Chains A and B, each alone.
Chain A
Amino acid sequence: MEKKKNILIVDDDEAILDVIKDILELKGYNVDTARTGREAIQKTRAKYYNLALLDIKLPDMEGTQLLSRIHRDTPKMMKIMITGYASLENAVDSLNLGADAYLMKPVETEKLLKTVEQKLREQEEAEMMSEEKVTEWIKSRIRKIESGAS
C-alpha cells in the first residue's frame, strides 16, 4: 500500500473547499484546507504537503504572494494555481513565481484530477531522480575511499 499523498487546498470559498476535498479524498488523497493565506502558510510549516491548490484571490493576500512565500519555504511542493481571472499575465506571473500549473475556474473535475495526478507523478520522478543521484554519489564516494584517495 502506497503512502497517501498530502494535498492542501487554499480557497476562500467554503463550498469549493468542501467539494474538491471530497473529490480528492475520494481519489485517495489526504486533504487539508485553508481559507486564508496566513492559514495556508501556517499549515505548510506544520506539515509536509505534496501538492497545494491555490486560489489566486484570497481575503488577506494575493494568491501570487502566497505562492512566492510557500515556494520559498517548500520548493518541492507542487503548486497549482486556480483562477477566476483569465489572463496571460496572471498565468505567466504565476509560473515565474514557482507555480507548476495554472488552471481556470471553473475547471472540469476530470481535468483537475488529471493535473493533480500528473504533478504528483512528476514530483515522484524528481524525487527518484534525486535519490538515484544521492545513491550514485555515495557509491562513488565509497569507491574513492576504498581506492585510498582522500
Chain B
Amino acid sequence: MNNETKADVNAFNELLNVLVFLENVSTKILGMPDENKVFKVLEKESSKSKLCNISIFLLAKSGSKLKIAAASEFYRKNKIFERLFGASLEKLRIDINKSTLLSQVINEEKTLEANFADLLREISPIPTGNETIRIFDLQKRRVILSPLYRHKRVFGILVIDAVDPIDQFSIVAGIFAQQISAAAEVTEQRSKYKKTIEKLKSSEEKYRASFEKAMDAIVLADAVTGIIVDCNHAACKLVGRKKSEIIGQHQRILHPPEEIEGEFSKTFPRHLKEDEGQVLETKVITKDGEVRDVEIKANLVEVAGKKILQGIFRDVTETKKIEKNLIHERDFLQALMDNIPDTIYFKDMSSRFTRINLAQARMLGVKSPDEAVGKTDFDFFTLEHAKDAYIDEQNIIKTGIPMVNKVERIRRADGKFLWVTATKVPIRDPDGHIVGIVGISRDITEAKQMQEQLEQYSKHLEEIVEQRTAELRKAERLAAIGETAAMVGHDLRNPLQSILGTLYLLREKIDSIHCDSRDKQDFEKLLKRVDEEIKYMNKIISDLQDFAGPIKVNLIETDIGDVIKDTLASITIPKTIDVSVIISKSLPKLMVDPTLMRRVLTNLILNAVQAIPDTGKIRIEAFNNKKDAIINVTDTGVGIPEENLPKIFQPLFTTKAKGQGFGLATCKKLINLQNGEIMVKSEVGKGSTFSIKIPLKR
C-alpha cells in the first residue's frame, strides 16, 4: 500500500466513523419526545466521540441573538464558553449581527465551513491570544455551521468543530443538521400531539362528566346492531334500570311494544336517516312496566370507525300531562267563552282586540272572532261610543282600577240599539305590569225594557192607587154623609108623619065646620100643596137612603114598556108639557129590577119636567141594538152647561135650587147595580138626553 493509498484508506475510515457516529446519533434522536432530550443526547454522544464537538445555538425569542442550548462535554468541563465570553453558559447570548458567519447561516440559510479561530474572533469579546483558550488547539480546527429548521424556518445553528476534518465533513454535517431538524420537527409534532391528546383527554373527561351529569338521558347505541354501548345516569333513572342492565342490551328494551316496529323502536331507523338531529316523540317503558312519554333527539356519530347513534331522551310525561291539562283548560275556557251569551273581549294597550268570543263577534258583525283581531271599537261602533269606551279603557290601563257594571247604550252591527252592562278589568303580566284589558258585557236590553215597563206600571199603579184613594176618600165621605142622611131621613119622617096626620085632622075639622064652599075649596087647595111638598120631602129622604144604604137587587125578566107606563101614571106632569113614548116592538124583556128601574125613570122624568120652564116636550124611547137595550129620556129644557156634564152623576152636585144632589147619583148607582150604564148628552138652551144602557140577557 502506498502512502496515498494509505491516506485514502484513513480518510475513508474516518468518513465511515463519522457516518456511523452520525447515523448512531440520528437514530437515537429521531422520535425523541423532547427537544431538550435531543440536545442532551447530542451533547452526550459528541462527548463520547473524539472526532468532533457538537454545539447547538438556538435563536432567542428576539431573533437577533443566539443562546447555547447544547455544548459538548469538553466545552462544559473546560468551561470554554465561560472563558471565551466571560459569562455563564445559561446567560450567554451571542449577537448575530456582529458575526458575518452566523448571520449568513441564519439569514441566508447556508451551511458554512470556516476556521474556528475566525468564528471566535467574530463572536468572542476576548482576544484569541488569551491564555485561557490556549488549551484549545486552534491550529487546523475547523468549524461547520449548519442551519436547523423547524416548520421550514431556521431556529438555530448546528455547530460542529473538529481538527482537520475530512473534506466531506461539511456535507455530512449538513445532512446531520437535517437529521436534527427532523428530530426537532418530530419532537414539536409530538408535543403538539401530546397537547392534543391531553386536550382530548380533558375534553373526554369533561364530556364524560357532562354526559353523566346531564339532566337528559343519553343513550349510545350501535347504529347497525342497535346494541347499547353506553348510557348515563339519567338514562338509568328514566327506565329504572342499572347501567349493567342497559349497556350491551338491544335498544328496543327501552320502549313499550306499541313503539316497536320490527327489530328496532319506531324512531331508531328514522333518526338514522331522514330525521337525524330531529326531535321525535315516542314512549319508553321502565323495568317496572311504567310507560313514559319522551322526546328523543338523536345524532349519528362515528367512534373508532363505528357508527353510533347518540340519543338524548327528555321525559315529557309531566309536560304532556300539563299540556293536556292546559289544552283541556283552554278548550274549557273556549267553550265557556263561546257559549256564554255575554260578550267577552281582550284588548291590548292600544285598545285593539286581541281575542274575542263568538258573542262579541256577533255583536261586532264579523264572521269569526279572528276577523276582529287588531281592530278597535272605532271600526265597529259610533264615534261617540268608541271614544267613550276608549277613554274608559285607557283610564283602566293608566290607573289599574277596574270598571264594574257600567250601563252603556250601544248600537250593534245590525243597527239594533242595546243596553249593556260593561265590566272591564286590567290584565297584568307575571311581573304585575298592565298589558291590556279584558272586558265582559251583558245584554240587559230586555231587563231594561222590563224595568222601564215596570216603572211605567208602577207609575200607572201609583195613579190608580191615587185615584182609588181619592175614590175611597170620597166613598168614605159619602158613606159618612149617607149615614148621616139616613139618620136625618128617619128623623125627618117622624115630623112628616105628624104633619100628614095633622093635615088629616085639619081636613076633618074643615069638613065639620060651616063655611062657604068656596072657602072650603081654597082650604083644600092649600092643603093639597102641603101634601105635595110632603111627598117631595119624602122622595128626597128615599133618594138619600137609596144612595147611602145597601140595596138588594132582584133582577127579573121585565117588560120595560110596562115599567115606563107605570112610572108615568104615578107622576103628575103639567099639561103644558107634551109627553111621547116610543117603544120598539122588537125590544125583548130585560133582566132588571122593576122597582129600581121605576125609581130611576121617576127621577129622570121628574128632572125633565123640572128642566122645562114653561112649555116643552119630553120624549121617552126604548129600543135595542145587538148588544144592549137603550132607554132615552129626552127633554127640550134648559140643558146642562158642558162644564157641568162630567159632574152631573156625582153626589151632592146640583144646579137646581130645589135639588139636593142625590137624584142622578142614585140613578147611576141603581143602573150600575143592574149591570147597566147611564149617560147624558146636553146642549144649553136645547135640552138634554139621558140614556140608560142595559145589556140584553145573555
Contact = CB atoms under 8 A, between A and B. Distances in A.
Given A20-B501, A109-B500, A87 B549 contact: yes
Interface in A1-31: 11, 13, 15-16, 18-20, 22-23, 26
A150 to B, nearest CB: 60
Contact of A26 (B494, B498, B505, B534): B505
B542 A106 contact: no
A108 interface: yes
Interface string B482-517: 000010011101111111111111001000000000
A109 B498 CA distance: 10
Contacts of A86: 542, 545
A57 interface: yes
B489 A84 contact: yes
Nearest to A110: B504
Nearest to A24: B501
A107 interface: yes
Contacts of A105: 493-494, 496-497
Contact of B490 (A19, A22, A57): A57
A109 B501 contact: yes
Contacts of A15: 494-495, 498
A82 B490 CA distance: 12
Contact residues on A (Cβ < 8 Å of other chain), bracket: 20 to 34
A17 to B, nearest CB: 9
Contacts of A84: 489-491, 493-494
Interface in A98-138: 105-110
Contacts of A110: 504
A135 B505 CA distance: 43
Nearest to B509: A26
B538 interface: yes
Given A23-B505, A86-B542, A106-B534, A16 B490 contact: no
Nearest to A14: B498
Contacts of B499: 106
Contacts of A16: 494, 497-498, 501
A59 to B, nearest CB: 13
A113 to B, nearest CB: 9
B490 A13 contact: no
Given A15-B494, A84-B489, A88-B552, A106 B538 contact: yes
B504 A106 contact: no
A26 B494 CA distance: 21
A85 interface: yes
A3 B508 CA distance: 24
Contacts of A109: 500-501, 503-504
A32 to B, nearest CB: 17
Nearest to B494: A13
A87 B501 CA distance: 23
Contacts of A23: 501, 504-505
B492 to A, nearest CB: 8
A11 B504 CA distance: 19
Given A23-B501, A23-B505, A106 B493 contact: yes
A19 B494 CA distance: 11
Given A23-B504, A23-B505, A84-B490, A107 B542 contact: no
A108 B501 CA distance: 8
A26 B508 contact: yes
A85 B494 CA distance: 11
A22 B500 CA distance: 13
A19 B497 CA distance: 9
A107 B505 contact: no
B498 A85 contact: no
A82 to B, nearest CB: 8
A110 B505 CA distance: 11
Nearest to B492: A84
Contacts of B538: 106
Nearest to A113: B504
A106 B497 contact: yes
B505 A106 contact: no
B501 A19 contact: yes
A82 B498 CA distance: 13
A109 B504 CA distance: 7
Nearest to A104: B493
A82 B538 CA distance: 15
Interface in B537-566: 538, 542, 545, 549, 552
Contacts of B493: 84, 105-106
Interface string A16-58: 1011101100100000000000000000000000000000010
A6 B490 CA distance: 28
A19 B502 contact: yes
Contacts of B490: 57, 84-85
Nearest to A57: B490
A87 B489 CA distance: 14
Contacts of A87: 549
B489 A19 contact: no
A5 B538 CA distance: 32
A9 to B, nearest CB: 11
A88 B554 CA distance: 12
B666 to A, nearest CB: 14
Contacts of B503: 109
Nearest to B535: A106
Given A86-B542, A106-B500, A107-B500, A22 B505 contact: yes
Contact of B498 (A19, A57, A88): A19
A15 B552 CA distance: 33
Given A87-B549, A88-B552, A106-B538, A13 B497 contact: yes
Interface string A61-103: 0000000000000000000001011111000000000000000
Contacts of A106: 493, 496-497, 499-500, 534, 538
Interface in B551-588: 552
Contacts of B502: 19
Contacts of B489: 84
A23 to B, nearest CB: 6
Nearest to B498: A15
Nearest to B495: A15
Nearest to B490: A84
A77 B552 CA distance: 32
Nearest to B497: A106
Nearest to A21: B501
Interface of B: 486, 489-491, 493-505, 508, 534, 538, 542, 545, 549, 552
6 contacts: A16-B494, A26-B505, A85-B486, A105-B496, A106-B500, A107-B500
Given A16-B494, A87-B549, A105-B493, 10 more contacts: A13-B495, A13-B497, A13-B498, A15-B498, A19-B497, A19-B501, A19-B502, A22-B505, A23-B505, A26-B505
